[in-house]
Amino acid sequence: MKSVITGDLINSQSIQPEVWFNALKDVLGKENPKVWEIYRGDEFQILVPKAENALLKALQIKAKIKTIKGLDVRLSIGLGTQEFKTEKISQSSGTAFVNSGRNLEKIKESKINLAIQSQYEDFDSGFNLILKWLLLTADNWTVVSAEIALLILKNPKISQEEIAKKFKITQSSVSQRIKRANLDLILETDQYFRKKIAELK
């Protein structure tokens, strides 16, 4: 099972394009149109070959974009297949692509910033409820919270001492920021997502 994340930026018109463009490039990885592509202005799509990594990748994208004041992102995770490959991901197809693209349009109308769609209705309904709770925190990350969230989401085993050194703050400040960003629960949610994906296979 593969995953495709389709997203669009919220309030991108208020930010210089090169700022959010470079942020997206940084979090999406090495430029490769077969894997990810930015198109139609501020929309993008990325293929996540292992579906169990999809939520973590989505959260990394969310955190990276939230490090830019005033900016946010809407993300749709689609699970399924990649049946047709081309030189550009935006022209590839399969159920993962269909689920991701259609779901993005649906969540735009519902004003939800992160949701998932697969062929498993029970999985979708259960996990989308979890994601609504998760968004109560993630949608409200400050720039400071997003910076620490991004670091931990990219390096889950990093110690508080290492974080304190990187940000030049005390360890107690790191602990407070982790609690405010709800990162322990978010990482636990990612582990639960991986477990549920394994049960689908």
Bridge partners (DSSP) listed for residue 10: 72
User: Residue 31 phi/psi, 5° resolution?
Assistant: -60, 125
Tokens matching residue 148:
């620490």
Q: Looking at the predicted structure, is the pLDDT value of residue 141 above 80?
A: yes
Alpha helices in 29-170 (DSSP H): 54-66, 95-110, 121-138, 143-154, 160-167
pTM, full prediction: 0.93
Contact 20, 68 (CB under 8 A): yes
Percentage above 70 pLDDT, the chain? 97
The domain segmentation of the chain, as residue ranges, is 2-199
Cα separation of the two ends of the chain:
7
> Among the CATH numbers 1.10.3470, 1.10.530, 3.30.70, 3.10.450, which is that of 2-199?
3.30.70
- What's the pLDDT score for residue 37? 86
Residue 197 contacts residue 51 (beta carbons within 8 Å): yes
Q: For residue range 8-34, what is the model confidence (pLDDT) as tens digits?
A: 999 888 888 889 888 988 998 877 777
Averaged pLDDT, 1-11: 93
For 105, phi then psi, to 5°, come to -65, -40
Report d(CA 188, CA 48) in Å as an integer: 20
Amino acid at 87: E
In contact, 70 and 146? CB cutoff 8 Å: no
Q: Sign (positive/negative) of CA torsion 139, 104, 189, 22?
A: negative
**Residue whose tokens read 């609690």:** 179
Per-residue pLDDT tens digits for 172-188:
999 999 999 999 999 99
